[in-house]
Amino acid sequence: MKTQLSRRSALKSFATGAAALGVASVTGPVFAAEARKWKGNIHHSVSAWCYGSLFNPGRNKPAKMTFEEFCQECARLGLESVELLGPDQWPAVKKAGLTCAMCNGPDGIGYGWNRVEHHDDLLPKFETAIPEVAANGFPNIITFSGNRKGKDKWGEYALSDEEGLENCVKGLKRLVPIAEKHKVNVILELLNSKVDHKGYMADQSAWGIELCKRVGSERLKLLFDIYHMQIMEGDIIRSIQEHGEYFGHYHTGGNPGRHEIDDTQELNYTAVMRAIVARGYKGYVGQEFVPARPDALASLLQSIEICDV
């Protein structure tokens, strides 16, 4: 990521057939008559970037709907949030009666807290962003560890996991008082470094949990991305059962491929959601799979049905 509609290539087409489910068709938005009702144990969210081809399809491709219409359709599907958005997109979410469960922050996957050279640059940006998130009533802002190796304006670098951990602790200890003051959670995402994000440091839940322990603030949590952690370590339900207090947000995605979370992939998302509920989790679960089927919003509806335990 940067997470504004670019985490991965969005799906390539959006065909007819979804209207029967009360969602948008290729001829334009066809909204359901009323919002779907769900059980309420899982607070459903969706990452907007996965559906960018609907409202931001790129050169010479007409949009199927506006971003505002996408938010309205998500509300009618019974979601509570559209996430991974910046301030320019927040008004459309609020107009649809939704929240943004995870707001974009000013850092990025390769440029995070694991280098002390970044701290004086990132801190004032978060000092501006966090009050804006709070003023809009949103709960969380995302952040990243950074990569183990790379090159930036300070030159080439290579970090051990322990050095990067210590550097993240130093930087985040400076940040969390701002989060505590404004009652916003800073959520550091766990990502896989095997397939999608080569070199990313926070690629193991144990590393992230140790970071949270050393920083020692209830306002610092982890984004436990189920797709990414399935690739890196598996044992998803046990991780939730044993370490759920450190997980402040969840993302979905089918493995392999990061597509639909149904029986085309290896995870039992219904069982995973039951474990999340049993752990007492009260936050949001963000659907972050990239639809492989042409009826993208029908796939989204199906994912909510799978997860609504």
Structure confidence by residue, pLDDT tens digits, 46-83? 999 999 989 888 888 889 999 999 999 999 999 999 99
What per-residue confidence (pLDDT) applies to 4? 37
Distance of alpha carbon 260 from alpha carbon 253, whole angstroms: 7
CA–CA separation, 238 and 244 (whole Å): 9
d(CA 165, CA 170): 9
Average pLDDT in the 274-289 region? 98
> CA–CA separation, 229 vs 285, rounded Å?
15
The reported pLDDT for the residue numbered 30 is 39
Pick the CATH number of 18-307 from 3.40.50.720, 3.20.20.150, 3.40.309.10, 3.40.710.10: 3.20.20.150
Considering only residues 23 and 124, tell me which one the structure prediction assigns the higher pLDDT: 124
Share of the chain above pLDDT 70, in %: 89
pLDDT band at 33 (very low <50, low <70, confident <90, very high): low
CA 192 to each of CA 19, 36, 38, 120, 183: distance values in angstroms, whole numbers, following the listed order = 36, 33, 31, 27, 29
Q: Quick check: pTM over 0.85? A: yes
Whole-number pLDDT of residue 61: 86
Q: How far apart, in whole angstroms, are the C-alpha atoms of residue 188 and residue 222? A: 5
Residue 84 reports pLDDT greater than 60: yes
For residues 267 and 127, give the distance between their C-alpha atoms in angstroms, rounded to a whole number: 38
**To the nearest whole percent, how much of the chain has pLDDT over 90?**
83
Query: Which residues touch 74 (CB under 8 Å, ≥6 apart)?
Result: 46, 82, 96, 98, 300
Check if the beta carbon of residue 254 is closer than 8 Å to that of residue 300: no
> Is the peptide bond prior to 256 cis by the omega test (within 30 degrees of 0)?
yes
- Tell me the pLDDT of the chain averaged across its residues: 90
Contacts of 197 (CB under 8 A, 6+ apart): 109, 191, 203
